[in-house]
Structure 1
Amino acid sequence: MTQKTSKKSLSRSQLFTFRLLALTVVPLVLLVGIELCLRLFGFGYSTDFFVQTELDGKPYWRENPKALWRFMPPSMARQPRPQMIPVEKADGVTRIFVLGESAALGDPEPSYSMGRILKILLQYHFPDQQFEVINTAITAINSHVILPMARELTEMKGDYWLVYMGNNEVLGPFGPGTVLGDQMPPQWLLNLSLKAKTTRFGQLLSGLESGSGTSSGKEWTGLRMFMEQTLKDSDPRMESVQRVFQRNLNALLEEAKQSGVRVALSTVPVNQADHAPFASSDPDGLTSEEAQLWEKSMMQAKQLLDSNLFVEALNALQQIEKLGESHAELQWLIGHCLSSLEQKEASLPYFKKALELDTLRFRADQRINHAIHESADLYQGDWIHLVDAEAALASKAKKGLPGDDFFWDHVHMKFQGNYLVALLTADWIAKDLRARFNLEVKESSQWLSVRDVAKFLGLSLWSDYQMTTQMLQRMNQAPFTQMVNHAQRMERLKVQLDQQSRGAQAESFEPQAAVYLGLVRMKRDDWVYQDQFAKFLESFGHKKKAITTWREVLKIMPHYLIGRYQLAMLLGEDASTAQEAEILARALIQERPEAPEFIRALGRSLYAQSRDPEAVAAFQKAYELREDDLESVMMLGAALDKAGQVQEAIAIFEKALALNSELKAAHQSIAAIYRRLGNEPKALEHEKQVSTAELEGDEEIVELF
């Protein structure tokens, strides 16, 4: 009887074990098998921020743009700055990483970023020491992305980190106002999701969930994507933003401390004095009489401000000040009036309050900078230093708070602002290096001036003109267009552009080219100088020299997408080099199949080879991907015309005119077609519409073919 019971009990135990194995081990083996099969067949992508490659037989780390696909849809992910970082750091080299978002990257032109300036300052100060400054900042990311990147950087032999982040905590990945994915998921779910996406099976499930392997159906269109994502200052999620940011920042600092990296942690200044709020929440609970007074006073004040009648405008605004205590625009207007009346101290609280109340939260507010101060206080020691850029810029700002004297727009600094952040950082690093290694400095221990650094980096009238042009185009779009002082800021930029325009004129080519050529020869291993020189040559029409220079760029940075694209576009203009352009374009499309720019480059090369049906198909696809892109529209029209599909060509050129009614190239193209068809009245009708103004980018479109 005992033996039977024992056997029966053993059978139950075995049954339980088998069931446990079936529920755990079998699915695990199945998942591992699926994962191995997916990897074997090349499905998926590496989620590392840096992947190893070789150049001239030496190992390097290069950036991995697909790493961002864990955090946002691939079609929305921004391209990181190209990098080639030696795996083996040479003796005597001090390696510095810059971590952050687009402001740290140096937008609108990373060639003149705080990282580039920092390297010049330190190299000149310590001529016998070598410095590598590697800018890992990427547009539209935030601390959720920067933290895992920092963990990876601990393995890359960095000596110092410059951390400059905080502008994108609300609207960046996983923030409460993001359009790049889920908003504020629970931390455990976020961690699980990000971990799952490091596996090929997780990537497969993610692709099936989104309905596409590589695209979410959305396209990056800049800040206007976030127009509806407003958050009031009183929204309880704002406290969560600060808490999550501080947790991520502290985790980042802990990683640095444990790995022996020394950190320059910067506060984040923003444009407060000259950048009106993007959006405001309407005053609550107004009576009908109060609402009428509000509308009347605001309208009156704006009219008075248009005439620079600041005293009268201030009086009108103060009538409704108590009604609009939570209205960002009102607070900024009062501050602007006081500042214009040279009441600087009185204006500051209003500018500061306007920042906190701005409901489109593209700028780091006081919650973010308070968190940075708290983290710096928490992690005390000689390995960490607070770079109080916010206070430093305010102390030098004309209006007592940073404005257009330091910023292009809301957060992106001009050269002077980047110089100041770099100088504060360089000063601490220099003191730290001298204290630890007794390094010798140059005989004159003074730091290079902002003007001297600008010369070393090749900042020219031409580059200023290019940046101002870019900012004019950007700020002529929403949400900038809804700012109360938009017209005035645009007018100032236009005046600035006019002053810089001689830098883009033919007579200025030789002296500027001599400077670029000197820098290129002095720093042959620095691809950024070559990159700027190639763009400079191309803009002045020196296309053969530009092709040669782009080839030099790609010797140093062979995977550089923009360089390969620019080379393909130039080669695609000539039938003798169009085949090489086609090869380049097809390789680019293989890497980014839904990039209309690369498909246009392919179409251009096919057009030059007189493969008209293929060219039309390529341009048609580029147009379908981005119907509001004038270059794609005009190229498609020209290809259709060349292929003999004249009515279709006219229809496409008409669509170009719908995007820009004064586009000379479109009117001229339609007029030429009608003249060939013998329709003189129609031809003359379009010729009369040709504006005498030289529109920006118009001539380039005229000369595409």
Structure 2
Amino acid sequence: MGTRQARYTRPPWASRIATAILTPLCLLMIGELVCRLVGLYRPTGFLIMTPDKRYYAPNQDFLRQFYSGDAAVGKILPFRAQIDKPRDTRRIVIIGESAAQGTPEPAFGFARILQLILRRADPHLRIEVINAAMRGVDSTILAVAAKDLIQLRPDLFVLYIGNNEVVGLHGARGSLGLAVNGLRKGLQHTAIGQILTRIVPTGTSTQDMAYFRRHRVAMADPRRKAVYRRLAGNLDRICRLAADNRIGVVLCTVAVNLKDCPPFGSLHGPDLDPSSLSRWQGLYRDAIAAEALGRIDQAISSFEAANRIDDGFAELHFRLARCLEKAGQSDLAFQHFRMACDLDALAFRADSRINEVIRDLARRWQASNVRLVDIEAAMAAKGIPGQQYFHDHVHLNFEGDHLVACSIAPAVWKALGLDGQPGLPSVQDCAAGLAYNTFAQLQMAAGMLQTTSRPPFLDQLDHDHVQKANAQWLEAAMKGITPGQLQAAADAYSAALANDPNDWYIHRLYAYLALWRQDAKAAIDHLDAAVRLFPEHLPTVLLYGSVLAQAGLNQQAIIQYRRALRLDPANKMARKAVRSLSRH
């Protein structure tokens, strides 16, 4: 007689758990599919193809996976790169932050100067310099972009990275902040996640001075060590990615304004007791008073005495450096200017350790495809870096961009396997070649004056005095600009466009000049050309809409503002303009 096999019966709770898990998952999958079918999903990669499938273009939505709202918009320059790269083309890609992009005016940044140098060195050589730098990003974001930039089949990456590592999105944050960033990035890879992050935006804290004061980080803070490790890892990943794809790398150290940029934030040492703090404050007050009276030796003595009590206060080093330079002790002044930067508790500038990370990485990769260009050392060799090369803390003026481009060009030439050395045109030659002119210079100064009137600049030493002096200088310079200078600018732009009618940068610059000259027709013509070249660039589209509206061309303005809303559905300026213009 055989035994009867027991029949397995699934417990009722197991079915309920499976239903509770699978039903929402199925609904989510259906919802995701529907959202994608109706066009609610936006690609997250750095590159997209143009509608004709002939070119790669930068995805203006790329940064939405990291930022919300306005922080994700208008930070990437437009470009086109043939998908089927011509065999005779040497393609160079610039990777970096706002300083590499060329802020405040990329038309005159080192990427454009480098392209000019290389093309003049061999007019028969087809050179493309693609500026893939982005404003406000850090190396973690750039490492993500680099994976996509491989699709361009570049011959060379030029890396100028390091200014946003401590204060950037992935900077000196705790594990919770990094986890939130990771969650947001993960959600952005789904249509439902993109919709949710638009409805419930993250990372929208108002960045006023109170915000920045709360987020100061001392040089000795362990979180800074984590930042340096992260930078090293991200740069190493980019170099390894390049090596695996037979792409050369020119790795640059980062130059910053030491002499004319006081620290953004200063902190006392954590072990400073009240009695020592009181003595420090007395000596510091005495030193400041002596400096104001021109008693430089006395000021130096008091600053040094205070520094022996607490050597971690960034602003003290800056004041001391200023006095030492006046006393003719330039080498010692340089050391203290550098220390003021390194100790800055709001590290918007690359510090010494960041540049050492870059040099260490170059040494590790020196047997491979990586070449170091020490921009920091090249600039320091010409004196203490200051306003002779910078607009503000890190953004280069034309002379600074020229120095960087001339420093990079020989390494780029060699990395491309070309014979000899490229000629290095003068600042004046490069200015003429790129249509740089007096009006453009003043326009850039006006933009920088506006930038430095906002946080985080407000706590800097002598901020109000410097702003007032710069505003007075700019006002006098703008009033003093002559019709001849304006015509010279127009002639320079016309000549540039005769050479390259599709120069998007020059069309925009010509439009700004035309607006200043109250020539609405010329402004509209050049903005129309700029938008036709790159209809995805939101700031240009918004400017075009505004100019059309001011000219009374309401229907054409509405077309541009609706274009802006397709690019950025949450754009308040465009929504308000469409409502207002539709009523007329």
TM-score by length of 1: 0.76
Name which of structure 1's ranges 167-176 and 478-487 shifts more when overlaid on structure 2: 478-487
- Choose which of 336, 359, 373 in structure 1 pairs with 2:359: 373
For 1:86, the equivalent position in structure 2 comes to 82
1:305: Cα distance to partner?
3.0
1:122: Cα distance to partner?
0.4
Q: In structure 2, do the counterparts of structure 1 residues 342 and 375 end up closer, same or farther at CA, with 3 Å as the change threshold? A: same
2:207 touches 2:455 (CA, 8 Å); kept in 1? no
For 1:425, the equivalent position in structure 2 comes to 408
Tell me, in whole angstroms, the C-alpha distance in 1 between the residues paired with 2:2 and 2:224: 69
Aligned length: 583
Tell me, in whole angstroms, the C-alpha distance in 1 between the residues paired with 2:267 and 2:206: 26
Tell me, in whole angstroms, the C-alpha distance in 2 between the residues paired with 1:449 and 1:324: 45
1:223: Cα distance to partner?
8.1
1:76 touches 1:220 (CA, 8 Å); kept in 2? no
1:176 touches 1:237 (CA, 8 Å); kept in 2? yes
Tell me, in whole angstroms, the C-alpha distance in 2 between the residues paired with 1:496 and 1:427: 37
Tell me, in whole angstroms, the C-alpha distance in 2 between the residues paired with 1:20 and 1:2: 37
Which blocks of at least 5 consecutive residues in structure 1 are unaligned? 613-705
1:110: Cα distance to partner?
1.0
1:75 touches 1:216 (CA, 8 Å); kept in 2? no
Q: Which has the higher contact order (CA 8 A, sep 6+)?
A: 2
Alignment of 1:539 onto 2:516: yes
1:375: Cα distance to partner?
1.4
For 2:563, the equivalent position in structure 1 comes to 587
For 1:668, the equivalent position in structure 2 comes to none
Amino acid at match of 1:4: R
For 2:444, the equivalent position in structure 1 comes to 467
**1:4 counterpart SS class:** coil
Q: In structure 2, do the counterparts of structure 1 residues 514 and 604 end up closer, same or farther at CA, with 3 Å as the change threshold? A: farther
For 1:51, the equivalent position in structure 2 comes to 48
1:75 touches 1:219 (CA, 8 Å); kept in 2? no
Tell me, in whole angstroms, the C-alpha distance in 2 between the residues paired with 1:499 and 1:413: 23
Per-residue deviation, residues 68-121 of structure 1 (Å, max 9, x unmatched): 111122332242112222222223111111111111111111111111111101
Equivalences for 1:15-414 in 2 at 5 Å?
Answer: 31-54=28-51, 57=52, 59-79=54-74, 80-177=76-173, 183-185=177-179, 194-204=185-195, 206-207=196-197, 212-213=198-199, 215-216=201-202, 218=204, 226-284=212-270, 290-381=276-367, 383-397=369-383, 399=384, 402-414=385-397
Q: In structure 2, do the counterparts of structure 1 residues 195 and 574 end up closer, same or farther at CA, with 3 Å as the change threshold? A: closer
Name which of structure 1's ranges 344-353 and 130-139 shifts more when overlaid on structure 2: 344-353
Q: In structure 2, do the counterparts of structure 1 residues 395 and 488 end up closer, same or farther at CA, with 3 Å as the change threshold? A: farther
Tell me, in whole angstroms, the C-alpha distance in 2 between the residues paired with 1:492 and 1:394: 27
Q: In structure 2, do the counterparts of structure 1 residues 291 and 224 end up closer, same or farther at CA, with 3 Å as the change threshold? A: closer
Q: In structure 2, do the counterparts of structure 1 residues 69 and 222 end up closer, same or farther at CA, with 3 Å as the change threshold? A: farther
Q: In structure 2, do the counterparts of structure 1 residues 318 and 470 end up closer, same or farther at CA, with 3 Å as the change threshold? A: same
Equivalences for 1:528-567 in 2 at 5 Å?
Answer: 528-567=505-544
Name which of structure 1's ranges 157-166 and 312-321 shifts more when overlaid on structure 2: 312-321
1:199: Cα distance to partner?
2.1
1:75 touches 1:215 (CA, 8 Å); kept in 2? no
TM-score by length of 2: 0.91
Tell me, in whole angstroms, the C-alpha distance in 2 between the residues paired with 1:517 and 1:236: 54
2:538 touches 2:567 (CA, 8 Å); kept in 1? no
2:67 touches 2:203 (CA, 8 Å); kept in 1? no
1:324: Cα distance to partner?
2.3
Q: In structure 2, do the counterparts of structure 1 residues 512 and 379 end up closer, same or farther at CA, with 3 Å as the change threshold? A: same
For 1:416, the equivalent position in structure 2 comes to 399
Tell me, in whole angstroms, the C-alpha distance in 1 between the residues paired with 2:523 and 2:446: 21
Tell me, in whole angstroms, the C-alpha distance in 2 between the residues paired with 1:127 and 1:177: 48
Tell me, in whole angstroms, the C-alpha distance in 1 between the residues paired with 2:579 and 2:22: 53
For 1:662, the equivalent position in structure 2 comes to none
Which blocks of at least 5 consecutive residues in structure 2 are unaligned? none
Q: In structure 2, do the counterparts of structure 1 residues 589 and 224 end up closer, same or farther at CA, with 3 Å as the change threshold? A: farther
**1:312 counterpart SS class:** helix
Name which of structure 1's ranges 89-98 and 291-300 shifts more when overlaid on structure 2: 291-300
Per-residue deviation, residues 521-562 of structure 1 (Å, max 9, x unmatched): 111122111111111111221111111111222232222323
**1:155 counterpart SS class:** helix
1:43: Cα distance to partner?
2.5
Tell me, in whole angstroms, the C-alpha distance in 1 between the residues paired with 2:55 and 2:224: 41
1:141 touches 1:172 (CA, 8 Å); kept in 2? yes
1:140: Cα distance to partner?
1.2
1:284: Cα distance to partner?
4.8
1:263: Cα distance to partner?
0.7
Amino acid at match of 2:144: P
1:316: Cα distance to partner?
2.5
1:290: Cα distance to partner?
4.1
Tell me, in whole angstroms, the C-alpha distance in 1 between the residues paired with 2:151 and 2:409: 23
1:571 touches 1:581 (CA, 8 Å); kept in 2? yes
For 1:618, the equivalent position in structure 2 comes to none
1:29: Cα distance to partner?
5.7
1:219: Cα distance to partner?
7.3
Amino acid at match of 1:347: A
1:568 touches 1:582 (CA, 8 Å); kept in 2? yes
Q: In structure 2, do the counterparts of structure 1 residues 533 and 241 end up closer, same or farther at CA, with 3 Å as the change threshold? A: same
Amino acid at match of 2:177: Q
Name which of structure 1's ranges 57-66 and 212-221 shifts more when overlaid on structure 2: 212-221
1:160: Cα distance to partner?
0.8
Q: In structure 2, do the counterparts of structure 1 residues 46 and 330 end up closer, same or farther at CA, with 3 Å as the change threshold? A: same
1:461 touches 1:500 (CA, 8 Å); kept in 2? no
Q: In structure 2, do the counterparts of structure 1 residues 14 and 53 end up closer, same or farther at CA, with 3 Å as the change threshold? A: farther
- Choose which of 402, 423, 430 in structure 2 pairs with 1:453: 430
1:323: Cα distance to partner?
1.6
1:156: Cα distance to partner?
1.5
Alignment of 1:493 onto 2:489: no
Amino acid at match of 2:178: M
Amino acid at match of 2:61: K
Tell me, in whole angstroms, the C-alpha distance in 1 between the residues paired with 2:176 and 2:65: 12
Tell me, in whole angstroms, the C-alpha distance in 1 between the residues paired with 2:270 and 2:200: 44
2:508 touches 2:530 (CA, 8 Å); kept in 1? yes
1:573 touches 1:605 (CA, 8 Å); kept in 2? no
Larger Rg: 1
1:237: Cα distance to partner?
0.9
1:78 touches 1:139 (CA, 8 Å); kept in 2? no
Q: In structure 2, do the counterparts of structure 1 residues 273 and 202 end up closer, same or farther at CA, with 3 Å as the change threshold? A: same
Amino acid at match of 1:203: Q
Tell me, in whole angstroms, the C-alpha distance in 1 between the residues paired with 2:162 and 2:40: 35
Per-residue deviation, residues 205-245 of structure 1 (Å, max 9, x unmatched): x53xxxx4274483776888534210111211111111111
Task: Indicate the RMSD between aligned Cα atoms, in angstroms.
Answer: 3.1
Amino acid at match of 2:343: L
Amino acid at match of 1:200: A
Per-residue deviation, residues 481-528 of structure 1 (Å, max 9, x unmatched): 321243564366357536743674434222221111111111112211
